């Protein structure tokens, strides 16, 4: 939804009714993750994508119908359906797509939600996509973190359902996760009948790059490309400059361990945070890794260096008192074995390891594998969204 928000908001403010189609669940080799959206505008414009082209035509027609009659629809597209191939979903995946009409009357809170998203304030929208009573379809709750001055708004249909969903959504929002939740018809914790799609708009996940070297510039660039908020940190002002790191959101001149400690104490790190230590200099990397490896939450902690550097680093960290369990969290040498040589190739290697660990990929060649493309582990082949995994980590192979 985030990628189509500007167009949606413009039409919403103009008083139009927009057909909004959102992927709410995926199985197997689905081309787009849960949360991907396509709009049908008041003039018939199509914006965004739910399938990368596979079923766009069918979804467009359905959205047009939904706008005309005002009734939301949950539609499944996949190889299990007789008409799956007729609409073009030949990738072998299955999509659940919720199609609803959106206007200032049906979604009066959209302006406030868009303001939160633009300002980087956490906010989630929970929408009923399935219920025995059709009147519940399309009802939504806007949920913000506990203690937010803006509060929550909307209602699903009962106080019990509102309370149960609000509690769960706040947990998802804290992790930046988007997924579908299932309850009994009145919000019972056990049972089925009520399905709620939760779209979380959390601030971008953070990538902290320690060490203002040439490899760091390439890593910052690929991190920005992957959607991270990238911060480069180095204690040497001659190297830590904005001109050397144009892709970084922030360049900080500070000792790495002091910066990381301050960010931890301020609560600005979460389970999606990625930490890349590229200094391969013990006076920089050992103190910052002492803090990083003891963080209660971090999606990835990797350190660059040769095998000799790695062994020396591990010995120093053991001397500093880190346990074997804490050391197991470290990916060192950082990256997958791609045979990388240049900074740009090494950055791809590091990004590949981060992505593989996030989704449970094995890092081998797809051409040499049989079966589904997506690895059956943490990936989006099951009906959930695409964020918030917190994997364990092993060493890679992009040392210098």
Give me 109's structure tokens: 């809170």
What pLDDT score does 149 carry?
A: 54
* Residues comprising the chain, all counted: 400
HSE toward the beta carbon, residue 206, CA cutoff 13 A: 22
Q: Is 250 helix (H, G, I), strand (E, B) or coil?
A: strand
Per-10-residue mean pLDDT of the chain, 400 residues long, equals 90 96 80 84 91 81 95 82 50 82 95 90 93 95 75 84 92 83 94 94 91 95 93 96 96 97 92 92 94 93 93 95 95 93 95 90 82 50 32 34
* Reported pTM: 0.65
User: Distance between CA 397 and CA 331 in Å, rounded?
Assistant: 9
Q: Is 156 helix (H, G, I), strand (E, B) or coil?
A: coil
User: Distance between CA 85 and CA 43 in Å, rounded?
Assistant: 29
| Of 312, 325, 326, 311, the residue nearest 283 (C-alpha) | 312
The owner of tokens 């959102």 is 22
What pLDDT score does 376 carry?
A: 45
Pairing of strands 330-331, 300-303: parallel
Give 155-192 pLDDT, tens digit per residue: 898 999 999 999 999 888 877 788 899 999 999 998 89
What pLDDT score does 92 carry?
A: 59
Mean pLDDT computed over every residue of the chain: 86
| Of 16, 22, 110, 116, the residue nearest 62 (C-alpha) | 22
Ordered strands of the 194-201 beta sheet: 153-154, 140-143, 123-130, 194-201, 179-183
What pLDDT score does 24 carry?
A: 92
What pLDDT score does 109 carry?
A: 94
292, 296, 300, 305 alpha-carbon torsion, rounded to 10°:
30
Helix pair 5-13, 110-119: axis angle to 10 deg: 140
| Of 382, 379, 399, 123, the residue nearest 277 (C-alpha) | 399
How close are the terminal C-alpha atoms of the chain, in Å? 40
What pLDDT score does 371 carry?
A: 67
The pairs formed by 7-12 with CB atoms below 8 angstroms and a separation of 24 or more are 7/39, 7/41, 7/45, 7/47, 8/39, 8/102, 8/110, 9/110, 9/111, 9/114, 11/39, 11/41, 11/42, 12/102, 12/103, 12/104, 12/107, 12/110, 12/111
Strands (E), the chain: 18-27, 37-40, 46-48, 73-78, 94-102, 123-130, 140-143, 153-154, 179-183, 194-201, 206-210, 229-234, 250-253, 274-277, 300-303, 330-331
What pLDDT score does 31 carry?
A: 62
């Amino acid at each position: 939804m985030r990628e189509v928000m500007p167009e949606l908001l413009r039409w919403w403010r103009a008083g139009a009714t927009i057909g909004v189609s959102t992927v709410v669940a995926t199985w197997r080799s689905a081309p787009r993750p849960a949360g991907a959206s396509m709009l049908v505008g008041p003039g018939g414009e199509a914006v965004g994508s739910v399938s990368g082209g596979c079923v766009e035509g069918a979804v467009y027609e359905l959205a047009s119908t939904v706008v005309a009659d005002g009734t939301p629809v949950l539609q499944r597209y996949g190889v299990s359906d007789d008409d799956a191939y007729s609409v073009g979903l030949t990738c072998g995946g299955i999509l659940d797509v919720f199609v609803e009409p959106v206007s200032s009357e049906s979604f009066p809170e959209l302006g406030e939600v868009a303001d939160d998203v633009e300002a980087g304030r956490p906010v989630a929208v929970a929408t009923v996509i399935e219920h025995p009573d059709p009147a519940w379809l399309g009802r939504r709750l806007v949920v913000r973190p506990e203690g937010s001055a803006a509060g929550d708004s909307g209602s699903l249909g009962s106080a019990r359902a509102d309370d149960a969903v609000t509690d769960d959504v706040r947990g998802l929002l804290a992790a930046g996760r988007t997924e579908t939740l299932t309850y009994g018809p009145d919000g019972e914790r056990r049972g089925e009948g009520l399905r709620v799609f939760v779209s979380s708009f959390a601030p971008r996940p953070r990538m902290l790059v320690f060490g203002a070297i040439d490899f760091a510039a390439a890593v910052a660039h690929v991190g920005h490309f992957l959607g991270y908020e990238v911060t480069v940190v180095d204690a040497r002002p001659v190297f830590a400059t904005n001109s050397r790191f144009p892709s970084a959101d922030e360049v900080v001149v500070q000792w790495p361990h002091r910066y990381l400690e301050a960010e931890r104490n301020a609560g600005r790190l979460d389970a999606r945070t990625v930490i890349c230590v590229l200094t391969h200099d013990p006076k920089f990397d050992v103190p910052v890794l002492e803090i990083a490896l003891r963080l209660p939450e971090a999606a990835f902690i990797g350190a660059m260096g040769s095998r000799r550097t790695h062994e020396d680093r591990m010995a120093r960290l053991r001397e500093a008192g880190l346990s074997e369990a804490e050391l197991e969290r470290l990916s060192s040498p950082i990256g997958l074995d791609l045979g990388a040589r240049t900074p740009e190739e090494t950055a791809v290697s590091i990004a590949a390891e981060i992505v593989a660990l996030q989704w449970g990929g094995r890092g081998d060649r797809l051409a040499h594998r049989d079966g589904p493309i997506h690895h059956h582990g943490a990936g989006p082949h099951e009906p959930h969204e695409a964020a918030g995994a917190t994997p364990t980590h092993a060493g890679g192979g992009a040392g210098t």
